[in-house]
Structure 1
Amino acid sequence: MDFVAQVETQASLMRSAAVKAGPDASVSSCPEWTVLDLVRHQAEVHTWAAQAVATAPDDGRPKWPKAPREWDEALSWWDSGTSLLLERLRSTPPDRPAWTFQGPSRADFWARRQAHETSIHRLDAELATGHEPPTLLFDPEFAADGIDEFLTIMVPRQLVLGRVIEATGRILVHAADAGRTWEVWLAPGEAPVVTGVHDSAVDADATLAGTADAIYRALWGRPSHAIVTGDESLLAALPRA
């Protein structure tokens, strides 16, 4: 999967939606943010990730940048940061060592992470326009990868940051259109154990099912048509960024 192309595509679509919504529009999926806040955040993330791609693992976390507070300047600064990120991702060998906050310390970590970071915030920008986005906004293969990244990278990261799981049980996550199913075992105070399974009919304490797009949105706490059955508290126990 070409994650770098996804970063470029999702950033372009997010920018268009943000401009359409306008800087003062509220972001319903991020209740405390305006579109200006959303744009500033994404600009900072892209600029920071570009630094991380070029930072050796032993050099430590790059300093977090601060985007301009005015709309036009923030958009321009975001454009520059995104261009730098894309240039570095394309010019850096995928297996080159790089600082990461979780998972493999390789440059290609950032292509995947920023593809999904940008796609979720693209959805936020689409929602801020006041028009309901299509129910199939993301390609099934890409959305399924986003589900996998959320469960295997982003949830464990939240545990490192101090979030604690206080639930016991088994969750089945079934993305029918992508042909993928995940089994997630939860235990108090422990990192979840995530495995891919081939049988979506096995018993589970809770099931999250639907298109990969719907599940992707649901796991990130965005409006979704995914169907939850069983113990909904198990899904609520999954920490989100």
Structure 2
Amino acid sequence: MTSRLTPTAYLDHIRSESARFRAVLAETDPTAPVPTAPDWTAADLLWHVAAEVQHFWTYVLETRPAAPTEETYDELERPKDATYQDLLAHFDELNARFIKTLEETGPEEPTWSWSKDQTAGFTYRRQAHEILIHRLDAELTAGAVTPLDPALAADGIDELLDVFYGGKPEWASFAGGEHYVRVDAIDTDTQTWVQLGLVSGTRPNGDRLEDEPDLSVVPHEEIPAGTEPDVVIEGTAADLNAWLWRRRDDEGIQVTGDKDVYDRFRALTNQPITDD
């Protein structure tokens, strides 16, 4: 079973992962391509994290609990004549403001998010994982990968499967089926149970979604007694997290069980993620 980190731990990770991200990119050719985002260079990655991610969530926290809109939130425009040193300075400024804003915001405070969790705690957790994965992007760009923190990576497995792939809008309903996949992080002794099923509902624009394949993370205590997973996926927390985020291959990850169920699971999880 996975356990959430404390808000203080998430904030510490945001600080340390941001520092590592910055240090790696400061020593990287700004034109170097990012292997995990082929259309980006190192300079694009640096701008993305500073201006498109951390600046945005700073605004969300500063204006809580109002939802950002096109009318209220002004996206930063990247200066056309900015040097790489200018972009690094932008990162320093925006990152410092983001961390300071988090420090001044209690995790329980009502705050907009795109998830069901409408507290600042969502931003603490989401942004710890966001900068962790983008730090890995920076290291892959530089060819200097270092280990991911096991506890944060284990929590990241749960967050990715539960919030991104398993999250449902209010208009959708999930009907769980009989098949389960269990993801085991062997170094942290944590497990995430995933139930395959179907989702239905009517979108706000009137379009109907009917019995589309989907998944949902199920708490251990809600698993029916005697249930055995159809598939078990095992690896270290760091390997599993990076693999699920499409940042590495499946070398060292062990899969046992029903191939059809595994293929259905991978069809639902092996796709790009765009939300920050």
TM, length-normalised to structure 1: 0.85
Distance 2:63 2:22 in 1: 27
Query: What residue number does 1:192 align with?
Result: 215
Q: Confirm whether residue 108 of structure 1 aligns to residue 121 of structure 2.
A: yes
Displacement of 1:205: 3.6
Query: What residue number does 1:117 align with?
Result: 130
Residues 132-171 of structure 1: per-residue CA shift (max 9 Å, x gap) = x24xx122211111111111212245x65xxxx9xx7422
Extract structure 1 runs of 4+ deviating beyond 4 A.
none
Distance 2:76 2:196 in 1: 35
Query: What residue number does 2:42 align with?
Result: 35
Letter aligned with residue 211 of structure 1: T
The CA RMSD over aligned residues, in Å, is: 2.6
Residues 211-237 of structure 1: per-residue CA shift (max 9 Å, x gap) = 111111011111144333432342231
Query: What residue number does 2:13 align with?
Result: 6
Displacement of 1:240: 4.0
Query: What residue number does 1:65 align with?
Result: 76
Letter aligned with residue 17 of structure 1: V
SS at match of 1:192: strand
Displacement of 1:55: 2.4
Query: What residue number does 1:237 align with?
Result: 268
1:177 aligns with one of 169, 187, 206: 187
Displacement of 1:172: 1.3
Distance 2:112 2:77 in 1: 20
Relative to total residues, which structure has the larger strand share, 1 or 2? 2
The 8 Å contact of residues 154 and 240 in structure 1, kept in 2 or not, is answered as no
Residues 38-71 of structure 1: per-residue CA shift (max 9 Å, x gap) = 1111112011011111223344446243344532
SS at match of 2:118: coil
Question: Could you say which structure has the larger radius of gyration?
Answer: 2
Distance 1:83 1:185 in 2: 40
2:253 aligns with one of 219, 226, 237: 226
The 8 Å contact of residues 242 and 248 in structure 2, kept in 1 or not, is answered as yes
Query: What residue number does 1:154 align with?
Result: 164
SS at match of 1:11: helix
1:74 aligns with one of 87, 98, 107: 87
Q: Percent identity?
A: 29
Query: What residue number does 2:3 align with?
Result: none
| Structure 2 runs not aligned, ≥5 long | 1-5, 201-213
How has the CA–CA distance of structure 1 residues 16 and 192 changed in structure 2, closer, same or farther, with 3 Å as cutoff? same
The 8 Å contact of residues 100 and 109 in structure 1, kept in 2 or not, is answered as yes
The 8 Å contact of residues 60 and 68 in structure 2, kept in 1 or not, is answered as no
Distance 1:209 1:156 in 2: 20
Q: Confirm whether residue 204 of structure 1 aligns to residue 234 of structure 2.
A: no
| Structure 1 runs not aligned, ≥5 long | none
The 8 Å contact of residues 181 and 196 in structure 1, kept in 2 or not, is answered as no
Distance 2:78 2:181 in 1: 39
How has the CA–CA distance of structure 1 residues 222 and 228 changed in structure 2, closer, same or farther, with 3 Å as cutoff? farther
Alignment coverage as a number of residue pairs: 231
